[in-house]
Chains A and B, each alone.
Chain A
Amino acid sequence: MPMYQVKPVCGGDIQIDLPTCMYKLPNIHAQQEHSCTSEHALQNGEVDPAVKALEARQDEIMRKLYELKAAVEGLAKTVTTPDADLDLTVSSSLSPQSSSSTAFKGTADLDTLLGKDLGALRDIVINANPEHPPLTLLVLHSLLCQRYRVLSTVHVHSSVTSVPPQLMSCLGPRHVDSYARHLFQLGFTLIWKNVPTLQMKFSIQNMCPIEGEANVARFLFKLLTPYPSDPAVATLVDSWVDTAFFQLAEGSTKERAAVLRSLNSALGRNPWLAGPEFSLADIACFCCVQCSGSASSAPANVQRWLKSCENLGHFSPAKLLLQ
């Protein structure tokens, strides 16, 4: 100890009756003992917890900066050498796990998919026009509910005057725990709103809104199971999804008939549209076939496929709305 110690001039235990009308300050005389012990602690090589916390925070910031640097370098590489493939680590994180055809047991992890958990509900907001209920998304919602604890809420935006009751209950009955939002892993907020195209918002800061039912369906499907790693299969799935939304749902009768024919031939070769596994392609096409009302007039293979889709039991929410 560099300096000698003096006994306290006055005892720290004197009780003084202080008025309560002013704010309180710790007694500076009584503090001596305490400061002694903290000095003592420091001498023993222990670090003040506040300093520790500060260090940890600095480390965290440095780590984030390094990550950012790596990410920027990776990007720079792809920019300067356009032919370079995506970073290996990125594609490996999406590596396929042979998931069984219908249960979606993939490795999808919400933290990697949606970003780090900030200790609050991750809420996916979907703005949909009540004139075109997004059947595909309702099906995906019920699949998500099987996999995660999902808090589903339906709202009506003030731009819409009234909404039929079945649209208000399209996400199923209220969860018994819905009063405690923090108990859920994922939020699914459906807002009936007067929008020209369907819109999805997730993170305002880091993500632009996703437009169109097909694209939102792709996003939600990735939360269930990774996309097929084989680019050819992935493209096939994508193209079926586009066909479903552009030609089945919005196309003319002629286009529709053509799509049904090609569905028929594809389903002749495989049990599901994109090969041996049930995929987003099946969900999208099923919903769009039902929506366009061409289910009854569909060719044999399509009929068989529609039956097996229904047997999966995923499509009940869509069926409810179609009735």
Chain B
Amino acid sequence: MTKEEVQGATEEEQQAQSKKALKKQQKEAEKAAKKAEKQAKLAAEQQSTEEDDFAKDRYGVSAMVQSQQKLDRVLVKVQDLTPDKADQLIWLRARVHTSRAKGKQCFLVLRQQQFNVQALVAVGDRASKQMVKFAANINKESIVDVEAVVRKVEQKIESCSQQDVELHMERIFVISQAEPRLPLQLEDAVRPDGEGEEEGRATVNQDTKLDNRVIDLRTTTSQAVFRLQSGVCQLFRDTLINKGFVEIQTPKIISAASEGGANVFTVSYFKTSAYLAQSPQLYKQMCICADFDKVFCVGPVFRAEDSNTHRHLTEFVGLDIEMAFNYHYHEVIDSITDTMVQIFKGLRDNFQTEIQTVNKQYPSEPFKFLEPTLRLEYTEGVAMLREAGVEMGDEDDLSTPNEKLLGRLVREKYDTDFYVLDKYPLAVRPFYTMPDPNNPKYSNSYDMFMRGEEILSGAQRIHDAQLLTERAQHHQIDLEKIKAYIDSFRYGAPPHGGGGIGLERVCMLYLGLHNVRQTSMFPRDPKRLTP
């Protein structure tokens, strides 16, 4: 009985329990059913969408290009997309600059260097809803291949460089995906300085830009700056080669400091140490002594100056000229200034779009110059400064603020941003500078200025070993250290002169930028070694 009772009780209990459990189970079952239903629904949906997605082979992330096949597909450049390509079906590879979905449409701006074009995909008989969604979700800065029809537009697209056409996309494949979070936004990086603050929008500071230089270099401004820089180099080479100059290469690892002892980088050189060349000066001069007549070189120079200013770098590209002349060192000045004028003219005539692009972000007045270049004498410069109220001695060197002031005064009077200041006091020039034949206080040396900042410093060099020794002794330079230099003039040397300019500084000043780091691709300064 008791057993039964017990059994009964337990049964009851069990029943009671099972009731609860049942309820639970029921609920769970319901849940599961719901879940299953949902899943089924989803699956069905998916299936239906998969079924529906008639355009599924028209978009996607394509396999990594490992050179599996060599397609003969012709890719059109964005800059060539003009109205005369209208209604053609073309392939194009570009970056996604921006994407914006709007209902059943998605607008992309596709960018190639400084050129961009609007592209759109809309739900229709060629594109499915999924394709539009896919296009809208491509990360910015990804690289895509697009097949599209070029269409003329009635209203100009103001935001793009190709204003007269847009692309109607037929296929879109992602070739290389960018990470969703960019360290800086391109639009922010090209925003003019003042504008961001006014409208409360972001601007990117210099260091962020330089830390992420690869992205910063993609901006239209950077593209234009470095295209222009390449133009400067090209024009420099072309002009000088036309003038009969020879391009030379000089060593950058040298045994002794060329211009005085300071400011050189020491590098270990096997069991001893060596220096990084501060300027190719010595080697240029040796080439002149070796009868090359007129030489130039383009290459890096190194300055170990711990100065963190807007115009100093520790490594920069030097454009150096040295030439033998016949009777007067003004022949050298004329050659150099004419080269500079040819560069300025070439930039003015062939790089107007680049200049305009940079001006959008960094407005500046167009660079003005005279042909032939204005040449003033140092005493005149000093007189102009004195007239403006500056107190300075006849033989004092120009301080940086005075340089700038003089630049403003010269610009005011002659309306030129480029001029030569000739006949510097001998006391402020290096020992190898040739003294003036008529006045021992002055020398046959010159500086060239762009927008009031010095870009070139040059002189007639002493080509006589005897005089060079005297001058070196006067400057208390250890003759042993410069023996090789002096010796190179012992076997007959033509009278010669020259100078060197910094490529980055010329670009900066031509464009009216305020920091030389903007015109150096991967700048090196006392605080930056990377990237």
Contact = CB atoms under 8 A, between A and B. Distances in A.
Interface string A84-126: 0000000000000000000000000000000000111101010
A181 B414 contact: no
Interface in B339-377: 344-345, 348, 366-377
B328 interface: yes
Interface string B416-453: 10000010000000000000001000000000000000
B371 A156 contact: yes
A274 B375 CA distance: 41
Contacts of A121: 377, 380
Interface stretch (A26-34, A198-206, A280-288): A198-206
A180 B386 CA distance: 21
A155 B374 contact: yes
B301 interface: no
Number of contact residues on A: which range applies? 20 to 34
A20 interface: yes
Contacts of A120: 377, 379-380, 382-384
Among A127, A182, A193: residue with most chain B CB under 10 A: A182
A179 interface: yes
A191 interface: yes
Given A125-B413, A191-B415, A205-B387, A158 B370 contact: yes
A157 B413 contact: no
Among A156, A158, A179, A191: residue with most chain B CB under 10 A: A158
A118 B382 CA distance: 9
B372 A204 contact: no
A203 B367 contact: no
Contacts of B413: 123, 125, 201, 204
Contacts of B368: 157-159
B487 interface: no
B412 interface: yes
Among A20, A193, A203, A204: residue with most chain B CB under 10 A: A204
Contacts of B387: 118, 203-206
Contact of A191 (B386, B412, B414): B414
B305 to A, nearest CB: 20
Given A155-B374, A158-B368, A205-B388, A119 B383 contact: yes
A189 interface: yes
A189 B370 CA distance: 11
B304 interface: no
B56 to A, nearest CB: 59
Nearest to A159: B368
B383 A125 contact: no
Contacts of B66: none
B414 A189 contact: yes
B426 to A, nearest CB: 16
A201 B412 CA distance: 9
Interface in A120-178: 120-121, 123, 125, 127, 153, 155-159
Nearest to B373: A155
A193 B415 contact: yes
A159 B367 CA distance: 10
A244 B438 CA distance: 48
Contacts of A123: 380, 413
B409 interface: yes
Interface in B227-275: none
B399 interface: no
A191 B409 CA distance: 17
A180 B384 CA distance: 18
B476 interface: yes
Contact of A118 (B367, B386, B476): B386
Among B375, B377, B380, B476: residue with most chain A CB under 10 A: B380
B152 interface: no
Nearest to A178: B330
B268 to A, nearest CB: 23
Contact of A204 (B369, B373, B412, B416): B412
A155 B382 contact: no
Contacts of A204: 384, 387-388, 409, 412-413
B328 to A, nearest CB: 6
Contact of A181 (B344, B366, B377, B388): B377
Nearest to A24: B476
A20 B480 CA distance: 15
Nearest to B412: A204
Given A155-B371, A204-B412, A179 B328 contact: yes
Nearest to A183: B438
Contact of B370 (A118, A157, A203): A157
Contacts of A156: 370-371
B376 A158 contact: no
Contact of B383 (A118, A157, A189, A206): A118
B510 to A, nearest CB: 12
A158 B369 contact: yes
A158 B409 contact: no
B182 to A, nearest CB: 40
Among B379, B382, B388: residue with most chain A CB under 10 A: B379
Contact of A155 (B330, B372, B386, B412): B372
A205 B328 CA distance: 34
Contacts of B382: 120
A195 to B, nearest CB: 9
Given A20-B476, A204-B409, A158 B379 contact: no
Nearest to B348: A158
B398 to A, nearest CB: 15
A123 to B, nearest CB: 8
B414 A125 contact: yes
Contacts of A158: 344-345, 348, 366-371
Contact of B376 (A181, A201, A203, A205): A181
Nearest to B436: A180
A206 B389 CA distance: 12
Contacts of A193: 415
A155 B422 CA distance: 18
Nearest to A117: B383
Contacts of B476: 20
Contacts of B414: 125, 155, 189, 191, 201
Contacts of B369: 157-158
B524 to A, nearest CB: 29
Contacts of B422: 181
Given A155-B374, A158-B368, A191-B414, 15 more contacts: A20-B476, A120-B383, A120-B384, A125-B413, A155-B370, A155-B371, A155-B372, A155-B373, A158-B371, A159-B368, A179-B328, A181-B375, A182-B379, A204-B388, A205-B387
25 contacts: A120-B377, A120-B383, A123-B380, A155-B370, A155-B372, A156-B370, A157-B368, A157-B369, A157-B415, A158-B348, A158-B366, A158-B368, A158-B371, A159-B368, A179-B330, A180-B438, A181-B377, A181-B422, A182-B379, A189-B414, A191-B370, A203-B387, A204-B384, A205-B387, A206-B387
**9 nearest A-B pairs in the assembled complex, by CB-CB distance:** A120-B383, A155-B370, A118-B383, A120-B380, A156-B371, A204-B412, A158-B369, A120-B379, A181-B377
